[in-house]
Amino acid sequence: MLIPALSTSTSNRSPTIVRTSFASSVAPSGVPKSALIAFNFRQGKLGFHGTLQPLAHPKAFSAWLRTLYRHHWHVYSKPPFGGAEQALRYLGHYTHRVAISNHRLVSLVDDQVTFRWRDRAHHNEPKLMTLSLDEFLRRFLLHLLPRGFVRIRHFGFLGNRRRATLLPLCFQLLSPIPQPHIEPAASASEQPSPLCRCPKCGGTMVIIQTLTAAQILLRSPPSFLRAA
């Protein structure tokens, strides 16, 4: 769990950032979403198999649910080894991608889907796998989140309730104070001479090419001597 945090100080009559962090140590989470679990149980959306079959009875399920309130739940978390940037880069590969990209799909023939995959047990060797269309769609839909769940839940100054107020304040405190740009005054020696000014518009002329005396003679038009 990555929780962006921001601490400010107003001791100097102006807010300043004194601490920022992107990961918490141990964050209390309180009681789990037992109301949502109970609602799904009443709707018949929960399945109990194996040793959990006795919980299918309403009384047994209610007794088990009451035991959850007796615990003070915590979510254990610790700072990432490579820093917050590495954790965000790692999670970004999973939060902004689909289950399978288009370039891995090879063919669809007779309701059979063939796609590429890498066998990690054999040094990431690329292989082809063919599944029926129904099985391929079943595996693909396993990556879709149920209703009410989101991949990214924002906390801190990125939370939906106070983001419009706190986010502009963060940009204001993190941005450096712009220094006024003062153009240096040109000295008398840097002023262009009257010979470099255009006689028509008065602007400064730019030297395009410098010619020597020999080059000027070569480029000058030929002189015609009158015959005596």
Please give the pLDDT value at position 208: 78
C-alpha–C-alpha distance, residues 47 and 65, integer Å: 15
- Distances from the Cα of 56 to the Cα of 43, 53, 63, 197, 200, angstroms: 12, 6, 12, 96, 98
Chain centroid to CA 48: how far? 39
Total residue length of the chain: 228
The single-letter DSSP state of residue 145 is P
Alpha-carbon torsion, ordered 195, 200, 202, 208, to 10 deg: -60
Please give the pLDDT value at position 127: 94
Strand partners, 107: 114
Smallest CA-to-CA distance from 15 within 173, 189, 203 is with: 173
Average pLDDT, the chain: 75
Please give the pLDDT value at position 23: 46
Instruction: With H, G, I as helix, E, B as strand and everything else as coil, classify residue 112.
Output: strand
Which of 218 and 22 is assigned the larger pLDDT? 218
Res 109 pLDDT > 90: yes
Q: Using 50, 70 and 90 to split pLDDT, how confident is the model at 26? A: very low
Please give the pLDDT value at position 120: 87
